[in-house]
């Protein structure tokens, strides 16, 4: 197996499973936790992520297919999406392409939120582009919630990611454009995004 990504919580391996090229996400042990607690925590988080991914797929969002869930090993065996991280290519594309992709992102996020799914880490690093389609990956920080606050935080994170990593200032507005068209509670969520942004500016001023 080949390591393709190493994070604080998990390692992603490139491997072969029943003749298919797959990605295996394995949650790593935490030495600071009691062994029994660590085992239980990693197992619960692995199961929760797999369930969120399956729910997202059912909601019409493109995500890697899960082939196997190995709770004892704290592993998810999933389809390897042999594409490009959106973060690495979006700035190279023209505005027409960017808008089309951002509209697709907005619709996907609307589908997640309509179905009570919070991704928890929506950035262009966690989106893979392949054959005209955006795949959402890494639901490790996700959860089930229908709270406006949680939806607002989800989108605020994407807004900040666009600002920090990408040049075109229209990207987020294009996402929101399609999000509004596909989610009837979008107006409340957008107000919450503005509120969260104001909170952040206030905290920076007093710190």
Give the pair of three-digit tokens for residue 205. Answer: 């001023």
- What is the distance between the alpha carbons of residues 16 and 140, in angstroms, rounded to a whole number? 22
Residue 121: active-site member:
yes
* Nearest C-alpha neighbor of 24 from the set 2, 44, 42: 2
CA angle 50/189/55 to nearest 5° reads 15
Tokens 């989610």 belong to residue: 183
Calculate Rg over the CA atoms of the chain. Answer: 18
- Catalytic one among 121, 138, 150, 154? 121
* Nearest C-alpha neighbor of 116 from the set 68, 193, 44, 51: 51
List residues with catalytic annotation. 121
């Amino acid at each position: 197996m080949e390591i393709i990504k190493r994070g604080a919580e998990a390692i992603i391996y490139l491997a072969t499973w029943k003749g298919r090229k797959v990605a295996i996400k394995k949650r790593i042990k935490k030495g600071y936790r009691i062994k029994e607690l660590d085992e239980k925590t990693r197992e619960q988080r692995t199961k929760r992520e797999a369930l969120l991914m399956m729910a997202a797929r059912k909601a019409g969002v493109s995500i890697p297919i899960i082939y196997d869930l190995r709770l004892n090993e704290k592993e998810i065996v999933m389809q390897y999406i042999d594409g490009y991280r959106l973060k690495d290519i979006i700035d190279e594309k023209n505005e027409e392409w960017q808008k089309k992709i951002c509209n697709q992102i907005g619709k996907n996020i609307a589908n997640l939120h309509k179905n009570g799914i919070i991704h928890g880490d929506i950035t262009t690093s966690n989106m893979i582009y392949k054959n005209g389609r955006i795949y959402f990956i890494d639901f490790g920080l996700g959860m089930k919630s229908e709270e406006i606050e949680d939806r607002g935080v989800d989108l605020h994170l994407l807004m900040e990611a666009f600002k920090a990593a990408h040049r075109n200032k229209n990207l987020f507005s294009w996402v929101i454009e399609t999000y509004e068209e596909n989610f009837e509670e979008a107006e409340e969520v957008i107000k919450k995004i503005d509120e969260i942004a104001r909170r952040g500016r206030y905290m920076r001023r007093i710190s």
